[in-house]
Homo-oligomer: A and B are copies of this chain.
Amino acid sequence: MMASFPTAEKAADLLALVRGRRPRVHCLMNTVVQKFTADGITAIGGIPSMTSSEEEIESFVTKTDALTINLGTLDEARRKVIRIAVTIANRQGKPWIVDPVHCDYSPSRLEFAHELSRLHPSIVRGNAAEMAVIGDVGGALRIQTGAVDSLSDVDRKVRIVNGHALMAKVTGTGCLSGGIIAAFMAVEPDAMLAAASALTVTGVSAEIAARHASGPGSFEVAFLDALFNLKSEDILSHARIEHDED
C-alpha cells in the first residue's frame, strides 16, 4: 500500500482533532522559550507541560501524549533527563521529536543529537545549518525548516511553502513548531502527515499574523492570536503543500 501525501484537507481535519482531543505535550525545552512554546501549544488546542526535573520526568512523560525534545541551553542534567524521557516514551510507544538547536555551534550538542537520532525518534527537525551537520537520521522523518520547509522519509518528499519572514525575527518560532508538531503526532500516527499538517497550520497562521503586524513584537502577539483563531477555510484557501510525483 502506498503511503498517502499530506493535503490541506488533512491539515484542517487534524487541527480539528487536536482541538477536540486536547493532547498533552511534554516539552524538554530550552529555558529561553518555555512560555512562548507553552502559549503556542495552548493556542492550537493542546495542553503543555515543561518540567526538566529528574525526579518528575517519569510521571510527566507517562501522562503525556507526545514529547518534544529541544537541545537549546543543554547541560549534563538536561541530557540525563532527556535520556530517561526517551526511554519511557519508547517503552510506552509515544511519539517524540528532536530539535537539535544550534548543534552546529557546539560539538557536545552535536554528539548528543547523534545519540538521540539513533534512539528512534519519530522526527528530527532543524534549520539548514543544523541538518547539514546532523547528516543521517536513521528511520526518522527528516525536516529542514526555512523559507520553505522540506520533509522527507523513505517514501515521500514534501515541501510546505507557507510561512513568513517575520518568523525568523521572533526567538523560538522553530522551537514552538516542534511543540505543535508533537501535538499533531498525538492524533495522527503517520509522522509525515502530522508534521506537514502542523507546519501548514503554523505557516498559514504566520501569514495571517503578518497582515496585522508592524514588526516582530506585534507579529508574535498576532501569531498566537492566529493559531488560536485559525479556521478550516483559512487552511483550505492558503495551504501550499507540494510533493514530488512518483
Contacts and interface: CB of A to CB of B under 8 A. Distances in A.
A184 interface: no
Interface in A208-239: 213-218, 220-229
A171 B48 contact: yes
A4 interface: no
Nearest to A223: B217
Contacts of A48: 171
A121 interface: no
Nearest to A41: B171
Contact of A50 (B32, B76, B169): B32
A227 B33 CA distance: 20
A43 B166 CA distance: 10
A210 to B, nearest CB: 13
Contacts of A105: 49, 56, 59-60, 63
A144 B190 CA distance: 40
Interface string A159-198: 0000000000111100000000000000000000000000
Nearest to A220: B217
Interface residues of A, number: 54
Interface of A: 30-36, 38-39, 42-43, 48-56, 59-60, 63, 72-76, 102, 105-109, 169-172, 213-218, 220-229
A52 B35 contact: no
* Chain B CB within 10 A, most for which of A50, A55, A221, A223: A221
Given A51-B74, A73-B50, A169 B228 contact: yes
Given A32-B38, A220-B217, A72 B51 contact: yes
Contacts of A36: 35
Contact of A74 (B43, B56, B72, B221): B56
